[in-house]
């Protein structure tokens, strides 16, 4: 079996990865707060941990990996968005959740095994908070419940490498009258009648952000699991607080064994973020006609522990590379990925090295040696050429622009027949397309119906246009 090495933030070392149970490798990754379109930076952890998910499935078997990524659907940012837009919280979170799924699918990300929504786990959060109080790690005050950092002082800060004293000196803490110690953080807070709230032993209220991940990870993965991931901006305080809560509520377990953090996506040297206003969304790029495959390939060209810059030039190069690779593999069947690509991924997800191996294979094939089937399989392992192109969302890439247009045109023609209620003609077109290896189906894009053409093989423009 391939030996995987992963860099563990907790030990600051690259370590050989040994799962607790090779029959069920378990990973948790912090997901988005759903109040707006995902910006390009938000997509980085999704792609990084999708590569890891694919690698783990390849090594341990598809049914032997459990990947959990949550949706935070209760949060002050969501409440603020509802108040300013006049829409309900439910409308906003449902719409944004679907946007996120559509946009990430366009980047070729597999859906995680479980995608829990925080609001579906409130009783588990309340139970965990009660347990923390009973064990002397938390206290209720003025409708709030706070985690008592002093009760775990010698361990708190180990992940991010800071001591409690440093943190207080750094004044990265919020002082509030109901806190015994300024470092204490909120597990539960009171809600006014106009805000979302649930009945609890401390009155009507809502959970703090950190307890959500602890409760969902415990419920779906148990008290000890293998990998916890997220962006390095979450290391403190979010992950530090998750560890404190989970280890204190479940001292029999050790929560996550390996912690992995991706570096930030940057724009001109600064983190891309909503608060800095220097962001664009994944959807912006897709709408500009930059295919999801291209965005993914650009991401993979930088190692996940290095900051990366998005540039239009990188996207152009990636598109050219993908089209060249596609021309070499499109007539073949994928076999096994190359040893070079496997070794690169197994070495702490060294995707730039994997891409260097891909380029090497391309040159070999062009010079007459080399195996296109292995190249195809290597690309699939990286999450490319897996053929679930959402034509309507321009999610698919390595077609030429003309092929792309012909494919979109087919999806449009089919949708037009359905809208006109000419179901007989629509069905004829669908059957003819399916005989060519193209599946036509209806999807939801941001709450609206859209047609999707899913290609199971390459089809020429002439064949697409001839379809009736």
What residue ranges bind Zn ion (CB under 5 A)? Answer: 30, 213
Give the nearest distance from C-beta 157 to ligand AMP in angstroms: 19
d(CA 45, CA 203): 36
Cα distances (Å, whole numbers) of residue 454 to 261, 433, 459: 34, 10, 11
Interface positions, 8-37, toward ligand AMP (CB under 6 A): 30, 32-33
The H-or-E segment that residue 449 falls in is: strand 448-455
**Which string of x and - marks every residue 261-300 that binds ligand AMP (by CB under 6 A)?**
-x-xx-----xxx---------------------------
Nearest alpha-carbon partner for 185 in 209, 218, 216, 217: 209
Give the nearest distance from C-beta 313 to Zn ion in angstroms: 34
CB atoms within 10 A of CB 206: 22
Residue 404 binds what, of ligand AMP, Zn ion, none (CB under 5 to 8 Å, by partner type)? none
Site of tokens 């191996």:
357
Give the nearest distance from C-beta 128 to Zn ion in angstroms: 14
d(CA 221, CA 309): 34
Cα distances (Å, whole numbers) of residue 461 to 157, 204, 403: 58, 60, 6
Nearer to ligand AMP, 38 or 122 (CB): 38
Site of tokens 């106009």:
194
CB atoms within 10 A of CB 181: 16
Give the nearest distance from C-beta 79 to ligand AMP in angstroms: 15
Residue 42 lies near ligand AMP (rule: CB under 6 A): yes
**Which string of x and - marks every residue 219-258 that binds ligand AMP (by CB under 6 A)?**
-----------xx-xx------------------------
Give the nearest distance from C-beta 28 to Zn ion in angstroms: 8
Residue 14 assigned ligand-binding role = no
Residue 238 assigned ligand-binding role = yes
Give the nearest distance from C-beta 156 to Zn ion in angstroms: 17
Task: Select the span of 14-22, 83-91, 260-268, 403-411 touching ligand AMP (CB under 6 A).
Answer: 260-268
Residue 213 binds what, of Zn ion, ligand AMP, none (CB under 5 to 8 Å, by partner type)? Zn ion
Give the torsion sign (CA, 400, 402, 404, 410).
negative
Nearer to Zn ion, 89 or 256 (CB): 256
**Which string of x and - marks every residue 353-392 that binds ligand AMP (by CB under 6 A)?**
----------------------------------------
Residue 96 binds what, of ligand AMP, Zn ion, none (CB under 5 to 8 Å, by partner type)? none
d(CA 412, CA 451): 7
Measured at the CA of 403, the angle between CA 402 and CA 404, to 5 degrees, comes to: 90
Cα distances (Å, whole numbers) of residue 259 to 31, 204, 216, 329: 15, 34, 17, 36
Task: Give the sheet arrangement for strand 25-29, strand by strand.
Answer: 65-69, 25-29, 224-231, 255-262
Q: Which single residue brings its beta carbon nearest to ligand AMP?
A: 231
Query: Treating both helix axes as pointing N-terminal to C-terminal, what angle do 351-366 and 372-381 enclose, rounded to 10 degrees?
Result: 160
Nearer to Zn ion, 25 or 213 (CB): 213
CB 380 within 8 A of CB 336: no
Residue 212 assigned ligand-binding role = no
Residues that bind ligand AMP (CB under 6 A): 30, 32-33, 41-42, 44-45, 230-231, 233-234, 262, 264-265, 271-273
Binding-site residue numbers are 30, 213, 238, 242, 274
Binding-site residue numbers for Zn(2+) are 30, 213, 238, 242
Binding-site residue numbers for ATP are 274
């Amino acid at each position: 079996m391939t030996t995987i090495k992963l860099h563990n933030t907790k030990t600051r070392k690259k370590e050989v990865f040994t799962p607790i149970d090779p029959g069920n490798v378990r990973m948790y990754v912090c997901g988005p707060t759903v109040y707006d379109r995902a910006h390009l930076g938000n997509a980085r952890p999704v792609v990084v941990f999708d590569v890891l998910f694919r690698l783990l499935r390849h090594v341990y078997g598809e049914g032997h990996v459990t990947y959990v990524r949550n949706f935070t659907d209760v949060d002050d940012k969501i409440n603020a968005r509802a108040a300013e837009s006049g829409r309900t919280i439910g409308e906003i979170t449902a719409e944004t959740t679907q946007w996120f799924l559509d946009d990430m699918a366009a980047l070729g990300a597999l859906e995680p095994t479980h995608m829990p929504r925080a609001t579906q786990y409130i009783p588990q959060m309340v139970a965990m908070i009660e347990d923390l109080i009973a064990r002397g790690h938390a206290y209720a005050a003025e409708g709030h419940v706070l985690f008592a950092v002093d009760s775990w002082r010698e361990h708190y800060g180990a992940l991010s490498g800071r001591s409690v004293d440093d943190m207080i000196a750094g004044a990265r803490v919020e002082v509030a009258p109901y806190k015994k110690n300024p470092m204490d953080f909120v597990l539960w807070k009171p809600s006014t009648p106009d805000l979302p709230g649930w009945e609890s032993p401390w009155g009507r209220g809502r959970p703090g952000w950190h307890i959500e991940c602890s409760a969902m990870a415990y419920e779906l993965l148990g008290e000890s699991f293998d990998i916890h991931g997220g962006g390095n901006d979450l290391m403190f305080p979010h992950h530090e607080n998750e560890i404190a809560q989970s280890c204190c509520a479940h001292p029999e377990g050790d929560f996550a064994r390996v912690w992995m953090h991706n570096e930030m996506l940057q724009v001109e040297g600064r983190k891309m973020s909503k608060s800095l206003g220097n962001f664009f969304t994944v959807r912006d790029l897709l709408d500009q006609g930059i295919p999801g495959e291209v965005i993914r390939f650009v991401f993979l060209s930088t190692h996940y522990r290095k900051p990366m810059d998005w540039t239009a030039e990188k996207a152009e190069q990636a598109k050219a590379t993908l089209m060249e690779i596609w021309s070499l593999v499109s007539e073949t069947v994928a076999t096994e990925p190359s040893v070079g690509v496997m070794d690169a991924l197994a070495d702490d997800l060294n995707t730039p090295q994997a891409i260097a191996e891909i380029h090497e294979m391309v040159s070999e094939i062009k010079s007459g040696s080399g195996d296109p089937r292995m190249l195809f399989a290597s690309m699939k392992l990286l999450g490319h050429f897996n053929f679930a192109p959402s034509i309507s969302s321009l999610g698919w890439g390595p077609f030429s622009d003309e092929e792309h247009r012909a494919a979109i045109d087919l999806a449009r023609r089919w949708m037009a027949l359905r809208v006109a209620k000419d179901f007989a003609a629509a069905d004829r077109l669908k059957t003819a397309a399916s005989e060519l290896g193209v599946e036509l189906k209806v999807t939801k894009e941001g709450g609206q119906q859209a047609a999707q053409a899913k290609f199971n093989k390459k089809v020429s423009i002439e064949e697409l246009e001839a379809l009736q």
